[in-house]
Amino acid sequence: MVLNIFQKKNKDVKSEKKLVLIGALFVHAAKMDENYTDKEKSIILKALSEISDEKESDLKIILEEAEKKEDQSNQILEFTKEIKRSEKNFRLKILEVLWKIIYSDGISDMYESSLMRKLSGLLYVSDKETGDIKQSIIKNKTT
């Protein structure tokens, strides 16, 4: 019985760490245009709530940790390591959120587009699938 308690706690710590890394990736994309806005933070918090069972207050703490993690890191490989092990639908959802963050200001600059091409490769998602997600985000922005 005691073993089950420790396994659950260990799993919670691992899933929280994964959320911090995902959040750091989202923050990295949001900062790509050097304009990290409250709208982007809102998109990130909503996305984190959709992929976890954490309470809103815990998600805000996770976002703060993600922001620190992103500030201290100089590479995105650390952020994508856990994500690329996930099932494809999860990876596609992550890319969808990233496009939402990028297009939250209505445009995608060359640095943001370059980041997305790199992330698609790191997450083992085809250019076509990434392009389809991007077009869906653009279409929904204009409707």
List, for residues 6-55, the tens digit of each pLDDT value.
Answer: 333 444 666 889 999 999 999 999 999 999 999 999 999 999 999 998 99
pLDDT at 89 exceeding the cut of 50:
yes
How far is the C-alpha of 62 from the C-alpha of 58, rounded, in Å? 6
Lowest mean pLDDT among 9-18, 20-29, 99-108, 134-143: 9-18
Give residues with Cβ within 8 angstroms of 131, minimum separation 6: none
For 76, the 3-state DSSP assignment is coil
Listed ranges 13-17, 95-99, 138-142; the one with the highest mean pLDDT: 95-99
**What is the 3-state composition of the chain as percent helix, strand, coil, each rounded to the nearest 5?**
80, 0, 20
2-142 CATH fold: TerB-like (1.10.3680)
Q: How confident is the model at residue 143 (pLDDT cuts 50, 70, 90)?
A: low
Tens digit of each residue's pLDDT (9 = 90 or more) over 56-84: 899 999 999 999 999 998 889 999 998 99
For 141, the enclosing helix (H) or strand (E) is helix 127-142
pLDDT exceeds cutoff 60 at 4:
no
Q: What is the pLDDT, as a whole number, of residue 82?
A: 87
Give 32's DSSP letter: T
Model pTM?
Answer: 0.87
